[in-house]
Amino acid sequence: MSDTLRERALAYHQLPKPGKIAIEITKPSATQDDLVLAYTPGVAAPVREIAKDPEAAYRYTAKGNLVAVISNGTAILGLGDKGPLASKPVMEGKAVLFKKFADVDVFDIEVDAADPRDLIETVVRIAPTFGGINLEDIKAPECFDIEAELIERLDIPVFHDDQHGTAIIIAAALENALRLNGKKLEEIRIVCVGAGAAGIASMRLLKSMGVPPAHIMMCDRGGVVHTGRDDLNRFKLEFAVETDRRTLADALDGADVFIGLSGPDLMSADMLRSMARDPLVFALSNPDPEIDPQLARATRDDVIMATGRSDYPNQVNNVLGFPFIFRGALDVRARRINEEMKIAAVRALRDLTHVPAPQAVLDAYRLDRLEFGREYLVPKPLDPRLIDWVPPAVARAAVESGSARLPYPPHYPA
């Protein structure tokens, strides 16, 4: 980070008052009668209703539009384990995105709980306050067990965005890219570098969408994840394959897709040259991708490229997913965000890219035109149509799959 950017960022977070979020009062509070209703004795009426019927909390409190963004700070962005307090700027930032893009209210909660059991029990105990739980910046492999147990124990959506948000955007971009190069999901061979939360969740989602398990080769710091290794946790074992390939270079020879969720400069020009025709390269390490996009394009003129950066085309950005997925889930009071709802989000993002972008998007990104193609695989984060496409798709999938408590909202498109 440059000194200039650092100083601007610090000033942004500090001035005119510290932090990025605040609490808003939604009811009148100007008169004595207002206070009688807001607190004692008037507040006793909704208390009694909720005691009789817990579902009444959705009518009389903010629960139905309130999400907890929770972290223990063990995997903050690309900075590692910096502790729960250091994660607070990130969690406040997440709150800003929820509110800005989908009008979802957030309490950010930083938990001093390096032990997964402590974190799980803390979340379970505070869950009655919320309509959904967004887990964030929790290290792998603990994050998998934490999310799985919370999903089983709670009756509200629990979503680890580092896993599923990334996976959903990758899948949408991948499906669109395959439309361009004419290959099929069930035929492609994928190499994924990075066997952490995002890598494992992304490959799980792609398997559920039709990629054969044998066509996925995962690499970590030890090279190819294969059945002969004795250093794999049970999550990596899920993707262990029988092969004599051992290095990333071996894995990429003839591969159709490279998905990088690891670190900078791991892919060489020679590795890219060895890939199949019209290779898809999703180099998503931030801020420095696994291969520089300029080098990639200079090496192969048939490459289709995506990164995690906003200054290159095809940014794989989680903000395309989590605000809108929770919006749809909350609006039908979903019990969980299941596979059907994730795939519905993928399809909505994929299909929106094929509809001509409105002038507002062109103006926001200073573009003359924006059409589906090699440099436009997923919508832009500032596309105002996302709120009209993704939540309805997620809500409909929730209703059809049995996750929803409420019917499909009448204010959503038919």
- CA atoms of 302 and 375, how far apart (whole Å): 12
Number of domains in the chain: 2
Q: ∠ CA 281-282-284 to the nearest 5 degrees?
A: 145
Residues sharing a CB contact under 8 Å with residue 18, sequence separation 6 or more, in sequence order: none
Domain end residue (candidates: 103, 130, 156): 156
Task: Give the mean model confidence (pLDDT) for residues 53-81.
Answer: 96
Task: Give the mean model confidence (pLDDT) for residues 144-161.
Answer: 98
Judge if 138 and 215 occupy the same domain.
Answer: no
- CA atoms of 291 and 199, how far apart (whole Å): 17
- CA atoms of 209 and 251, how far apart (whole Å): 22
What is the pLDDT, as a whole number, of residue 206?
98
- CA atoms of 280 and 59, how far apart (whole Å): 48
What is the pLDDT, as a whole number, of residue 385?
97
What is the pLDDT, as a whole number, of residue 144?
97
Using the predicted structure, report yes or no on whether residue 78 has a pLDDT greater than 90: no
373 beta partners: 376
Task: Give the mean model confidence (pLDDT) for residues 123-146.
Answer: 97
Domain end residue (candidates: 156, 188, 209): 156
Q: How confident is the model at residue 28 (pLDDT cuts 50, 70, 90)?
A: very high
Residue 250 burial by Cβ neighbours in a 10 Å radius (0-12, 13-18, 19+):
middle
Judge if 141 and 188 occupy the same domain.
Answer: no
- For the question of residue 20 being annotated catalytic, the response is no
Q: Are 405 and 157 in contact (CB under 8 A)?
A: no
Catalytic residue among 94, 139, 236, 380: 94
- For the question of residue 99 being annotated catalytic, the response is no
In CATH, what number is assigned to the domain containing residue 27?
Answer: 3.40.50.10380
Domain end residue (candidates: 92, 121, 156): 156
Judge if 279 and 363 occupy the same domain.
Answer: yes
Looking at 15-115, list the stretches that DSSP marks H as alpha helix, in order from N- to C-terminal side. 32-38, 44-52, 57-60, 88-102
Judge if 63 and 85 occupy the same domain.
Answer: yes
Residue 51 burial by Cβ neighbours in a 10 Å radius (0-12, 13-18, 19+):
exposed
Task: Give the mean model confidence (pLDDT) for residues 93-117.
Answer: 97
What is the pLDDT, as a whole number, of residue 50?
98
Q: How confident is the model at residue 44 (pLDDT cuts 50, 70, 90)?
A: very high
- CA atoms of 323 and 404, how far apart (whole Å): 18
Closest CA to 157 of 125, 141, 135, 126: 135
What is the pLDDT, as a whole number, of residue 3?
84
Torsion, Cα 381 386 387 389, to 10 degrees, reads: -160
Q: Scanning the structure block, which residue is given the tokens 């009071």?
A: 333
Q: How confident is the model at residue 2 (pLDDT cuts 50, 70, 90)?
A: confident
- 291-313 per-position pLDDT tens digit: 999 999 999 999 999 999 989 99
Judge if 149 and 180 occupy the same domain.
Answer: no
What is the pLDDT, as a whole number, of residue 55?
96
Task: Give the mean model confidence (pLDDT) for residues 263-278.
Answer: 97
Using the predicted structure, report yes or no on whether residue 108 has a pLDDT greater than 80: yes
Q: Are 287 and 309 in contact (CB under 8 A)?
A: yes
Judge if 201 and 308 occupy the same domain.
Answer: yes
Judge if 183 and 100 occupy the same domain.
Answer: no
Looking at 127-264, list the stretches that DSSP marks H as alpha helix, in order from N- to C-terminal side. 142-153, 161-181, 197-208, 234-237, 248-252
Using the predicted structure, report yes or no on whether residue 17 has a pLDDT greater than 90: yes
- Percent of the chain at pLDDT > 90 equals 97
- 171-208 per-position pLDDT tens digit: 999 999 999 999 999 999 999 999 999 999 999 999 99
193 beta partners: 219, 260
Please state, in angstroms and as integers, the Cα–Cα distance from residue 162 to each residue in 108, 147, 201, 269, following that order: 16, 11, 9, 29
Using the predicted structure, report yes or no on whether residue 1 has a pLDDT greater than 80: no
Task: Give the mean model confidence (pLDDT) for residues 211-234.
Answer: 97
Judge if 90 and 186 occupy the same domain.
Answer: no
Judge if 147 and 166 occupy the same domain.
Answer: no
Answer left, alpha or beta for residue 377, where phi above 0 means left and psi between -120 and 50 means alpha. Answer: alpha
Judge if 129 and 166 occupy the same domain.
Answer: no
- 313-370 per-position pLDDT tens digit: 999 999 999 999 999 999 999 999 999 999 999 999 999 999 999 999 999 999 999 9
Judge if 127 and 105 occupy the same domain.
Answer: yes
Domain of residue 128 covers 3-156
Q: Are 90 and 82 in contact (CB under 8 A)?
A: no
Q: Are 136 and 106 in contact (CB under 8 A)?
A: no
In CATH, what number is assigned to the domain containing residue 363?
Answer: 3.40.50.720
Mean pLDDT of the chain: 96
Task: Give the mean model confidence (pLDDT) for residues 274-289.
Answer: 96
